[in-house]
Amino acid sequence: MSTTLPLGWEDDLALTQQAVWQLLCAAVDAPDDPLRTPVLGTVHLQGAEPAPMLRTVVLRAADAASGRLSFHTDARSAKAAELARNPQAALLFYSAVLKLQIRVEGAVSLHVGDATAREQFDHIAAASPHTLLPYLGAAPGTPLDGLPPVLTRRSWRAADLAPAWPCFAWGVLVPRRIETLVLDPRGHRRARIDRSGTQWTAHWIAA
């Protein structure tokens, strides 16, 4: 992790908020950064009782100005169905190097077949086509007799990925709350950052 944080950021609320977005924005383009692969928590309706569901996703975009975090997923997946029924979700990030946990709570908007999804799909098809390969196969969770043939192909053109387009969903999480926890030998630091419109309010809370 090469991101340089302000000195003493963990002891200052404003710097903590700045550090969160600095780290997440940097993680988008850093494949080896653990903050690039958060755990997404959704709500699954199991019968009459809601149940939590957890999956790892890849952080594809982070925008500090608008306060948004984005990922993509298969529109046929249980995850997409859960978010369509209940958009409330959370992302959990952890860096063992910084001993930092970031929990982000908010609502997810799923873009399927619209202009936002098209823009992102075309960008990914050109820059990272391999990440779209799962959308060329059977729906997530479908039993298979072996590895799908699509995985054995070594090169792809953007045009080859056209059949993946209907299955592509771009998820955008708009946070309403961010909590940070720094595991510090001097004593853990925990902060809560709440959003109201375009304004953020931060305060310390007990760890």
Summarize pLDDT for 132-178 with one digit per residue, the tens: 999 998 999 999 998 887 777 777 777 789 999 999 999 999 999 99
Query: pTM score, two decimals?
Result: 0.93
Helix (H) or strand (E) holding 108: strand 100-111
pLDDT for the residue 168: 98
Distance set, CA 126 to CA 106, 120, 122, 166 (Å)? 30, 10, 6, 17
pLDDT for the residue 2: 63
Mean pLDDT across the stretch 26-43?
A: 97
Q: Is 16 helix (H, G, I), strand (E, B) or coil?
A: helix
Q: How many CB atoms lie within 10 A of CB 114?
A: 10
pLDDT for the residue 50: 86
